[in-house]
Amino acid sequence: MAQAPGVREGFLRPSHWGVIGCAVAGLGLFAWQAELAPAHAQAQGTGGLLAKIEELEVNLAKRTNAAFVFIKPHACNDKVIALLKDTLANEGIEITATGSLDYKTIDEKMLIDNHYGAIASKAVKIDPKDLQPSDKAKAAFKAMAGMTWEDAVSKRLVYNAAQAAKKLNLDGNALEAKWAKIDKKKDLVKFGGGFYCGKLEEKMFVINGFYMAMRGQFTEKPAKIQHTCFRCCTSTR
């Protein structure tokens, strides 16, 4: 999702904060950050001092965190926003910035697709001909489809979710409803984590056909998310 103001990825640079890692938690994406002194530039060429500063940086990293979180569209209302704000305040956590993103921005910048990562990329970004299922996955596909993966791709019988929705003139919810009717024991193959191929129609195989409905929750009017940046000492409960 959108990157929090003041939260930058990379290593220590003079005169600004350095980001030291990230993790996924709770309401959204947490970017963990240490507040570091700008003394790094003064330590060039002084091995002993540089080592001490690096030790200090590690110690500081253990004491201060920063995060970017967002409230999903289905829960994005005044009560939930107030609940988040009050909860953080009650825990002594400092809010440094807030804002919102509407459905148009989320759609145009493919922010939710970036958030969902591999699941989304296979559903909307990658053409099936560029996918690389394992040999085991290909064998499972052949058993399900009655033809090899290579033959199905060459005959353009395999579609990602976005391509399938366009070809069938269906919105995300309608495509997901059709996907839900697939016989999971006979006509659905799991290629890997977040990587599914289903027989949607005779001679039509779709990758991650469920995703467009998930995406629509963020990219269709009047969806929006509310985001909050905050920082706290690691000793905060």
pLDDT computed for residue 236 by the predictor:
52
Instruction: Give the pLDDT band of residue 100 (cuts 50, 70, 90).
Output: very high
Enclosing H/E stretch for 143? helix 135-145
Contact between 34 and 64 under an 8 Å Cβ cutoff? The reply is yes
Give pLDDT tens digits for 170-198: 999 999 999 999 999 999 999 999 999 99
Whether 190 and 226 map to the same domain: the answer is no
> How far is 84 from 86, CA to CA, in rounded Å?
6
Mean pLDDT for 8-25 is: 31
Whether 68 and 145 map to the same domain: the answer is no
Question: Does 180 fall in a domain?
Answer: yes
Contacts of residue 33, Cβ cutoff 8 Å, sequence gap at least 6? 7, 17, 18, 19, 20, 64, 65, 66, 231
Number of domains comprising the chain: 2
Q: Where in the sequence is the domain holding 98, given as residue range(s)?
A: 18-113+222-233
Whether 149 and 105 map to the same domain: the answer is no
pLDDT computed for residue 54 by the predictor:
78
Contacts of residue 125, Cβ cutoff 8 Å, sequence gap at least 6? 110, 113, 160
CA distances from 99 to 3, 158, 201 (A): 11, 40, 43
Whether 74 and 26 map to the same domain: the answer is yes
Instruction: Give the pLDDT band of residue 30 (cuts 50, 70, 90).
Output: very low
Question: Does 5 fall in a domain?
Answer: no
Question: Does 169 fall in a domain?
Answer: yes
pLDDT computed for residue 50 by the predictor:
74
Instruction: Give me 173's structure tokens.
Output: 């919810």
Is a pLDDT exceeding 80 seen at residue 60? no
pLDDT computed for residue 36 by the predictor:
37
Give pLDDT tens digits for 111-144: 999 999 999 999 999 999 999 999 999 999 999 9
Whether 226 and 165 map to the same domain: the answer is no
Instruction: Give the pLDDT band of residue 37 (cuts 50, 70, 90).
Output: very low
Mean pLDDT for 78-107 is: 94
Question: Does 7 fall in a domain?
Answer: no
Identify the DSSP state of 2: P
**What 3-state class would DSSP assign to 124?**
helix
Whether 186 and 227 map to the same domain: the answer is no
Q: Which residue in this structure is represented by tokens 């001679």?
A: 203
Whether 100 and 171 map to the same domain: the answer is no
Residue spans of beta strands (DSSP E) within 64-128: 64-71, 94-102
Question: Does 10 fall in a domain?
Answer: no
Question: Does 158 fall in a domain?
Answer: yes
Whether 34 and 106 map to the same domain: the answer is yes
Is a pLDDT exceeding 80 seen at residue 24? no
Mean pLDDT for 204-223 is: 97
**Whole-number average pLDDT of the chain:** 82
Whether 135 and 172 map to the same domain: the answer is yes
Whether 130 and 76 map to the same domain: the answer is no
Question: Does 2 fall in a domain?
Answer: no
Whether 47 and 131 map to the same domain: the answer is no
User: In Å, how far from its chain's centre is CA 152?
Assistant: 30
> How far is 166 from 174, CA to CA, in rounded Å?
12
Whether 201 and 229 map to the same domain: the answer is no
pLDDT computed for residue 139 by the predictor:
98
Is a pLDDT exceeding 50 seen at residue 79? yes
Is a pLDDT exceeding 90 seen at residue 7? no
> How far is 92 from 86, CA to CA, in rounded Å?
10
* Axis crossing angle, helix 211-219 with helix 172-180, rounded to the nearest 10: 150
Question: Does 3 fall in a domain?
Answer: no
